[in-house]
Amino acid sequence: MVADELDYVVGVDTHRDEHVLAAVTAPTGAVLAGENVRADGRGYRATLRFAARYAAGRRVWAIEGTGSYGAGLARYLAARGETVLELSRTPKGERRLRGKDDALDAVRTARAALASRRLTLPRLANAVKRCGCSCSLVGALSTSAARRLGSAVRGFLSDTQKPAHYRGRR
């Protein structure tokens, strides 16, 4: 289990304009602190300061929505050597039963990571890690599949400094 290997999990509930953080201790799942940060470069830097203050030690980041609003944060943290895990959003039925609250969702995300036996890396991080392997297979792919793969990798690499929700804005 994840709880046996870590000291802390920082759960993140992602949104277009801000992210909600929750630092949770790994052995007990106790909430240490929470904070809201902007979903931009300044906010991303604040996430690392938050973690240094409340989750110094062996930690992992559990982020909802790494394929959308959390993509920029996931890339930022991964580029700085942090371990980022993707968790699926809390099912709507469970949110209705327990109430919808961003701070509570960040805690739920962190605790879900602690309870998991099998965690997944973010989709975009997987694509980059597999890029070397995938690129060597391009010759075996059809022309259109190879073109799509190349476009996806180029698009990902060119957008690494921008949050996902800023793409296409002027």
* 127, 133 contact by CB (below 8 A): no
Parse the chain into domains and list their residue ranges.
2-122, 125-166
pLDDT of 118: 57
Q: Provide the pLDDT for residue 154.
A: 54
Q: What is the pTM of this model?
A: 0.67
In the β-sheet with 31-38, what is the strand arrangement from edge to edge? 31-38, 18-25, 8-14, 59-64, 84-87
Distance of CA 90 to the CA centre of its chain: 14
Give the per-residue SS3 of 83-129: CEEEECCCCHHHHHHHCCCHHHHHHHHHHHHHHCCCCECCHHHHHHH
Q: Would you say 105 and 88 are in contact if contact means Cβ atoms under 8 Å apart?
A: no
Alpha helices in the chain (DSSP H): 41-54, 71-79, 92-98, 102-115, 123-129, 131-137, 143-158
Integer Cα distance of 58 and 68 in angstroms: 26
What averages of pLDDT result for each successive group of 10 residues across the chain (170 residues)?
79 93 91 95 96 93 85 92 81 57 88 72 48 39 53 53 52
Selected from 3.40.190.10, 3.40.605.10, 3.40.220.10, 3.30.420.10, the CATH number assigned to the domain covering 2-122 reads 3.30.420.10
CA dist 167 to 80, 84, 96, Å? 22, 22, 31
Measured from the Cβ of residue 64, the count of other Cβ atoms closer than 10 Å reads 25
